[in-house]
Structure 1
Amino acid sequence: MTTTALSRRPVGELLRQWREHRRLSQLDLSIQADISTRHLSFLETGRSKPSRDMVLHLAEELDLPLRERNRLLLAAGFAPEFSETTLDAPRMTAVRTALRQILAGHEPYPAVVVDGRWNLVEGNVSLGLLTSLVDPELLAAPANVLRASMHPKGLAPHIVNLGEWRSHLLGRLRRQIAFSADPELEALYAEIRAYPCDQPEPEEAELAGAGELVVPLRLRHDAGELAFFSTIATFGTPLDITLAELAIESFFPADRRTAEVLRSAARTSPAAL
């Protein structure tokens, strides 16, 4: 469903939709929000109009993304609470500086900044280790990191454990969809799910083998097989939609040999990464 269609829906209908999406009964949410079930029912059916504070209170109890909190406010006839500032705006200078410090500080290992729909915002020099294996068409702006990873012309043919890694990425995307209910992410999931994969795709619960701590990304490279694990970092207590949706994915070597290859490449020819 489009954003425009959603914004035209009554606030009570949106509240009910989110409550059901969170798998909460009216009783569950009324207890959680410390309001009567009758009052919540009246709000959902449109018999009562919520105050601005009530909209924000229920949005907090439903753990809604900032973008959706603004949508509820608009549907209730109020001005949005949270800004959405472009990353190149002057007020975001400190944010841009922090992101670039993090990316540069992670060298000689790859790191990337993505938005809430996994579009590439910025990467460090060592990200070239991964993007050099991807068809340039997939890197044209706005490049989507998940699409570039799983597309047959992307990283997929170079991933040794494609079935495992694909299951891991799709599981991560499913959880993000469960939180955000974003139709664009749902479309991205369907697209990636349709890509061919010639390896078994284990259930997420089966991904970790004996002695494994994380699901590694095992990559065929000219220097031999390289192994990585990754971490995701986000901004704490963001009050801006752009900040709330940004994430930094940092790749670390999963074995000594991968670390040595990356450090050696950085010393001899950083641009070659």
Structure 2
Amino acid sequence: MDISQKEFFEENGYIVLPQFFNVGLFHEVRQEINQIGQFIIGKEFDFDTYQPEIMTPEKQSQLYDRLHYLPCLSRLSGNLDLLTACRELGLTLPVLMGCCNMRYDRPHDIKHLFDWHQDTLYLLGSVNAVTAWIPFSRVDEHHGTVQLIPRSHQTGIHPYKKISDKLIEEQRQFLQRDLSLDEDVTSTPVTVEADPGDLILFKQMMLHRSLPNMSGRVRWTAQIRISDLAYPGFLEAGCPTGDKKNIFYQSYPGFIHPLSVRYENKSR
């Protein structure tokens, strides 16, 4: 990786590395998904085909839950080239976070999309943490993709609000259905376009959102979350993660306290 790529990543908070993964690894992914899909959904299941006639909500939920435990996802998470790229981009001691997953996005489904947010809000981790966004099919505005706000990672945690009735307690986990951004995003986003085998890496402090899949095919993607254990202050803070601690009990550089939310919930 050359110095211009590193500088671009540090300045803008993201990078797209074309043809990063070996095609053989992606063949393994397709094969494993087909195997588990045919077991859960039925022998007609096919990775490349959208089949609403056999994909009931119950079966889709079962399939989606099992995708988190595919052996190929572990191989992606521990991919040496991926970890090397993270080191070259400034993560001194990359370590996996607890939220590595795979997404199955149906055509024209807007229910499960995520609006503008920062991953750090829910996952915590170090300031230097990154998300590896890995497509297994073409991603663009038509097929669904991710939009990013360049340089938005440089200003710390953006204002947010609690949108659920969940009480604020130190050991309680907060998800995207509990917290949302509390500001309008007016900056011009970058709409990522990528092909299978490409790697999209962005800092978890970056504002981003997902776009709906408007094609006639399923959009398959994996998300690998990687923190930097050696980032200053992370170890001293107890290596916080989103399942052991929440954002109301963890501060970051540039952190903006939503005082009204804190006051309202600490009085309960």
Normalised by the shorter chain, which TM-score bucket? under 0.3
Task: From the CA coordinates, give the structure whose radius of gyration is larger.
Answer: 1
TM-score normalised according to structure 1 size: 0.26
Query: Which one scores higher on RCO, CA 8 angstroms, separation ≥ 6?
Result: 2
Greater per-residue helix proportion? 1
